Structure formats: C-alpha cells, structure tokens
Amino acid sequence: MLKTILEVLRRILIQPVTVAAVKQLTAAADYAANDVLSESATIGTPWYFPNCARAPGRSFLIVGIRARCTEDSVTMRLSVNFFRVTPARSAVNDNVAYNMVAADNLGISLGERVLPAFGDLGVETMIDDPDIRMQITPAPDETGVYAIVKTLDAEANETANMGLEIELEIIQY
C-alpha cells in the first residue's frame, strides 16, 4: 500500500522530461537483423541524447522510450544500446552488422533496451515502451547519453532517407 501511495506521489510531483534524437537513415539496402541504423553508410555516428542530467555526471532515470519512423510500413523491432561516452570502436555505420568491440563494453556500456515491433499508424510508425526503468550515470563531464540503435529483425520496407526519431522520457535527479 505504501509503495502504491509513493508511486502516485512520485508521478504527481516528478514530471518526466523528453529528450529526442533524430536521424535521416541512409537505408541504401534492405536491413538484415542486427544491422545498425545511422545517417551514413561510411561515416555514421552514435545517437546522442543531450541534457538528460541536471549537471555533468549526475544520474537520471529513463522511464520510457518511444521511436517514430516516417516510413509507415516498417515492422522491425529495435534495440537501443546505451553508452556512458561515445562508443568509438563499435560499428556505427548504417546497414553494417552491429558488433560491440570489447573495449567499448568495458566501463562504458550501460545496457540494452529492446523495443516492440513497429505498428502501422498510417502517417508514421511508432513504438512505445513506457515501462522501462533504467538508471543512467553519464561520464563525469557529460549530461547526455550515447546509443547505438540496431534492428532485431530483417526489414525490406525501408526507404532511403527515412526519418527515425528516438525519444527518451527521463526523470532528472
């Protein structure tokens, strides 16, 4: 009972903040399962979600993740792999098989969250997982978090330059 009351009070007193990152995906070919989603097939970059923490190095809680795609016929599931700093050695180019190099896993990997398959809404496709609870502590000089987004399923309905937006709902401590 006390836990329920505290949860209600938390929801009333602490409103989540939304932080988003958007990329126009190269999508030059069909995506295979485990392919990275990025803006370039040759010089891709990790996803970055700025200003998640109130101050550098301060923790925050991800309480929801939402993904939207401008192509309304995609059905793939996504995985978002979070990192404390930029994952400099892992694959970040579009349509390249994801591989997390051991050096990026040691001390900077914060874990992975899997999102359900996209559902067709007509104008855009959106997936939403409001039940995520993931505490993140960025690097001491960072207020944001880095990510590599990958497919979990093959996808043939992508289009070149389709937009993908990932939103994080966070609670700042």
Comparing 89 with 12, the larger pLDDT belongs to 89
pLDDT digits (tens, 9 = 90+) for 84-123: 988 877 888 999 999 877 666 677 889 899 888 887 665 4
Residue 141 lies in a domain: yes
Rounded to a whole number, what is the distance in angstroms from the first to the last CA of the chain? 25
C-alpha–C-alpha distance, residues 66 and 6, integer Å: 25
Residue 7 lies in a domain: no
pLDDT digits (tens, 9 = 90+) for 13-25: 678 899 999 999 9
Q: What is the mean pLDDT of the chain?
A: 86
C-alpha–C-alpha distance, residues 21 and 7, integer Å: 29
Residue 4 lies in a domain: no
**Nearest residue to 18 via CA among 47, 57, 49:** 49
Q: Do 37 and 130 meet the contact criterion of CB atoms below 8 Å apart?
A: no
Residue 106 lies in a domain: yes
Q: What is the CATH number of the domain that holds 90?
A: 2.60.120
State the burial class of residue 17 (Cβ atoms within 10 Å of its Cβ: 0-12, 13-18, 19+): middle
What pLDDT does residue 159 have? 87
Residue 10 lies in a domain: no
Q: Do 23 and 64 meet the contact criterion of CB atoms below 8 Å apart?
A: no
Strand 119-120 and strand 109-115: the pairing is unpaired
Could you tell me the residue range of the domain that residue 36 belongs to? 18-172
The number of residues in the chain equals 173
Q: What is the pTM of this model?
A: 0.86
Residue 102 lies in a domain: yes
Number of domains the chain contains:
1
Q: Do 100 and 90 meet the contact criterion of CB atoms below 8 Å apart?
A: yes
DSSP 105: H
**Nearest residue to 83 via CA among 106, 114, 53:** 106
Residue 1 lies in a domain: no
